[in-house]
Structure formats: structure tokens, C-alpha cells
Amino acid sequence: MVICTSTDTKEAILKSLRKSDGRLTNGGTSLKNHGMDHLNWACLPHANTTETILVWHIATTLFDNHKPSPHQNIDPHQEPASQQNNNPFKEQEVALELSSYCHYLVKCLPDLLPDKVVWIEDMYETVRNEILAIDRSSNQKPTKINRCNYALEATWDESSVVGKGAMLANDLIHCAENGKLVWEMLAEFWAEMMLFIAPSDNVDGHEKLLNRDELITQLWALLTHAGIITRPKPTVHQDHQSKSDAVTGDVNV
């Protein structure tokens, strides 16, 4: 079990709840607040919640572990993009903790997420196999840094969740190199996502976890008490856009 005990993490979630005024969103608000609307392609409503979580978890992990490859012409005195902008460590810690927790929910508690359990399990296994295939495809020693660099530089099928995560990570690196406060955005994004996935009609599932200090159950109880029991449905424009994208394969970048 992954337990989120950080005071900073809980404060980030409560701050996100206050700012939301009860209108839950799946990450787009954080992107807009930080001038990164061009990354909305990674959290549009046509992407199911599980895929969105996995894409952003992969991107967050790759961004955190990014180190320039030896063949890249990089100033040796330049900090990696993930460490630029003097981002406070607490925001990085919050983002990584919530990203890992959401990954844990997909892997271990899929019945508490919005999507169907069988579908979540199938997607998780597909992504796991894609990640394992990296070691078979790379000619380098299978270290964490080499895996990350390979994922960032590889050519992926457009339907690959790992590929989407790598594309998003490259976008995050580019944002950091251009002065954006990426860790601050990611901390807010994951807090926003936690609130978005918390509403659930699986009362029995949550009741079984009441004595386990499970964050998702604590948030479910908090939101239920506040009268927030469902997520907002896509607007007419969003629903039309999602269907169009599904047909054409386009994404908004």
C-alpha cells in the first residue's frame, strides 16, 4: 500500500479543492493556470481516466529522471530541465507522491476508479509489457537513466500509452527549458486529478478501506460529505471534439 502522509501533499489537495469551488476537472485547470494549455491533448475527455493517469505518471517519472544523453550537445554546466527554475523541492515531492499513488490505484485498487476494472487491468498489463520491451529494444545497459532516455528518444506507435507519456515528458522538458514552473504545475495537476477521481458509487469498496488510512477513501468521504458525488460530464463542445479526435486521430497540441 502507498500511503500519502506528507503534510504538503494534503495541503496541496485541500488548496485545489478550495480553488475548484466544487467543480472537479482532470488537470486542465492547472495547465491553464500555468500557461501550458498546449498540453491539454494529454487530458482531454476522450482519453479515459486510467489512460490519462498512466500517461501523466510516465511523463512525470521521465521528467524527474531526465538526463541528457552523452551524444547530445549540452552545456555541461547547465542543470537538467527537471531541476531548473529553482522549483521548491516540496512541489516536486508532492507531484511524485501523488503520481505514484495514482499509479498504485490503477495497479491495486482499480475498482475505486471511474473506468471498468477489466479494462483497467488490460490497459495496465499492456503498458507494463511496453515498458518491459524497452530493455529488449535498447542496446544500452538497462539502468533507470538509460531506460528514461530511450523512452524519450524512441519512435513510438501513436496509440502507445508509453509513447504518449514520452511525448508529454518531452513537452514538459521543453517547458522547463523555457522558464515554466513545471514542478509547480505538476503538483497542482496531481492534486486536481486526485479530487477528480475521488467521487465513487462503490460504497462497499470504500467502507472496507476506512481503517487503512487510504487517501482515496478519505477524499471520497470528504467530497461525499460536501455533496460532491459525481464528476462533471463533458460539455457539448468537448464531447464533439472528443468524437472528432477519435475518428481522425488528432490531438490538440
Q: What is the dihedral of CA 30, 34, 40, 42, to 10 degrees?
A: -70
pTM, to two decimals? 0.83
Residue type, 167: M
The residue among 3 and 188 whose pLDDT is bigger is 188
**C-alpha to C-alpha distances, 96 to 50, 89, 191, 203, nearest whole angstrom:** 17, 11, 11, 28
Cell of residue 31, nine digits: 495547465
Cell of residue 13, nine digits: 489537495
pLDDT at 67 over 80: no
Residue ranges covered by each domain of the chain: 7-69+80-248
pLDDT at 179 over 60: yes
What is the Cα–Cα distance from 171 to 31, expressed in whole angstroms?
Answer: 12
Tell me the percentage of the chain whose pLDDT exceeds 70: 76
Euclidean distance between the first and the last CA atom of the chain, given in angstroms as a whole number? 36
Residues in Cβ contact with 26 at an 8 Å cutoff, skipping those fewer than 6 apart: 43, 45, 49, 52, 192, 193, 196
Q: How confident is the model at residue 88 (pLDDT cuts 50, 70, 90)?
A: low
Residues in Cβ contact with 53 at an 8 Å cutoff, skipping those fewer than 6 apart: 102, 103, 105, 106, 113, 193, 197
Q: How confident is the model at residue 142 (pLDDT cuts 50, 70, 90)?
A: low
